[in-house]
Amino acid sequence: MSKDYAEHRENRENLIDIAGLFDDLVKVAFQLKFKFLITIIVCGVIFCGYKRFTYSPYYIASSTFTISSSISSENSNTYIENATANQMAKSFPYILQSGAFKQVLAEDLGMQSVPGTIEAEVMENTNLFTLKVTESSPELAQKVLESVVKNYPSVAEFVIGSSQLTLMDESGVPTAPANPFSYKHELEIGAAIGILLCVFLDVLLALGKNTVKKEEDFKRLFHVDSLGVLPHAKFHKKRTQVEELIVLDNPRLPRSFLEASRTVRRRIERAQKETGMKSFLVTSAMPGEGKSTVSANIAISLAMKGYKVILVDADLRNPSTAKVLGMQEQELGTLQVLKGEVKIEDAVQPYKDTSVMVLAGSSPIQDTSTVLSGENMRQFIKELEAKADFVVIDTPPSAMLSDAAIVAQYVDGAVFVIRQDYTEADRILEGMEILSSSGAQITGCILNDANVKGNSSEHYKNSYRLKGEVKV
């Protein structure tokens, strides 16, 4: 039974991998749809232009003849004559391609060699055949055709005896090329080449894409614990409005997000009980992964459980906590406290009616290393820990800037936010290694903006575990 189960599980994982690859193909195609469209158009135009530039028209002059023996007698047998004529017709193409015949044609045309190509098609069981001359010049094609008709009997006499050609039909000097140029046809071929190229690139990029797609990837790729999965939640809002924070007190928030947020909170609580963690920074490898929004959600979620929380914006280069929370920009914030210009209690502000105190950012600065490092930062963290049960610190992306690594030296732990299928695993690992080199303990990772359908099993487990929790 265990062997069958193992095989079933392996087959299921293979199916999941195939489904994941298909999803990657669709996502890459969707992300690059405009570039792929441009590629198809460019391929079509280039191919059409190339074919037009190298286009060489050719013309076909043709005539239909019957061939027969020129010797006749009153007592001749009709069957024998037909058989002889048929045999002569079959031998015609071979004589036509012979060196002797081509030499005679060249002399007759006054040229070194016979231009173009000469073809003969014989209708089976008849003495009827069609002669075709293909050449780039319509006049020369007709001239070669006339020379063939004129000189054939004299050359063929040494092979099949005396013969006679009777004209049945002729095209005359051709007026239009046999291979007319079609812009539509060439564009279609070029576009088809472009489509094949885009499909190849799509497969190549999908196979080379190494991003985090599910919660289990944390252990497999980075050997770190998971703090939870925050599903994608989208609201319709006007562009002129301030960015809306997705938080627990939002009545329009999907239930799945509420349950996932409680799972994150529960695991952070467990980490505090096990390690005594009180202050932790929240970061990501790259911008755009939602670390600031996740930081705010963690702080508010803990506060709604009854904890006193201080949310600190330590992204001094690009302060965003106030914007995420929908608060007005502050003149006094983290920078002024670190410089010793004001005290913490003079710079923090409560968030709505929760027990979250926000120490937002103020004017952005570029030289942050001198402000964030040193004894002032250590003392700053200690004061924050003394005033709250949890201290949540939003920091810049760790794989791009050293700010998170500097702050990591003074906090108890770090939470790494990873947006689903967004940043390459190598870049995420780089960001984690930078934090670890500073002595930071990575408490766990949060998979953000996740497709719930892609994580349905984990979502179900989270929902099942939370049924007994008190809703806050």
Assess contact for 354 and 390: CB atoms under 8 A.
no
The DSSP result for 51-79, as a single string, is HHHT----EEEEEEEEEEES---TT--HH
CATH number of 59-170: 3.30.70.1130
Assess contact for 172 and 126: CB atoms under 8 A.
no
pLDDT given at position 149 = 83
Assess contact for 102 and 152: CB atoms under 8 A.
no
Helical pair 2-31 and 33-53, crossing angle rounded to 10 deg: 60
pLDDT given at position 13 = 47
What residue ranges in 260-364 does DSSP mark as E strands?
279-284, 309-313, 349-350, 356-359
State how far the alpha carbon of 82 is from the alpha carbons of 67, 158, 389, 465, in Å.
Answer: 10, 20, 113, 97
Q: For the stretch 426-457, what's the b/e string if a residue is b when 16 or more beta carbons lie within 10 angstroms of its beta carbon?
A: ebbeebbebbeebebebbbbbbbbbebebbee
435, amino acid identity: L
pLDDT, one tens digit for every residue, the chain (472 residues): 444 434 444 444 444 456 667 777 887 888 889 999 999 999 999 999 999 999 999 999 998 888 776 655 444 455 445 565 666 666 777 877 888 888 888 888 888 888 888 888 877 777 777 888 999 999 999 998 888 888 877 777 776 667 677 788 888 888 899 999 999 999 999 999 999 999 999 888 878 778 888 888 888 888 899 999 998 876 554 443 334 455 655 666 677 788 888 899 999 999 889 888 899 999 999 999 999 999 999 999 999 899 999 999 999 999 989 888 888 877 888 999 998 899 999 999 998 888 999 999 888 888 888 889 888 899 999 999 999 999 999 999 999 999 999 999 999 999 999 999 888 889 999 999 999 888 888 999 999 988 866 444 444 344 334 333 333 3
Phi, psi of 163 (to 5 degrees): -140, 165
pLDDT given at position 148 = 85
pLDDT given at position 386 = 94
Assess contact for 33 and 205: CB atoms under 8 A.
no
Q: Is 167 helix (H, G, I), strand (E, B) or coil?
A: strand
Assess contact for 413 and 440: CB atoms under 8 A.
yes
CATH class of 217-468: alpha beta
Indicate the length of the chain as a whole number: 472
Two structure tokens written together for 431: 């960001």
Assess contact for 388 and 394: CB atoms under 8 A.
no
Half-sphere exposure of 34 (CA within 13 A, CB side): 1
Give burial (CB, 10 Å; 0-12/13-18/19+) of 463: middle
| Pairwise CA distance, residues 447 & 463, whole Å | 16
Q: What is the CA radius of gyration of the chain?
A: 42
Two structure tokens written together for 299: 């702080």
Q: How far apart are the first and last CA of the chain?
A: 44
| Pairwise CA distance, residues 258 & 457, whole Å | 17
What does the domain layout of the chain look like in residue ranges?
2-55+181-208, 59-170, 217-468
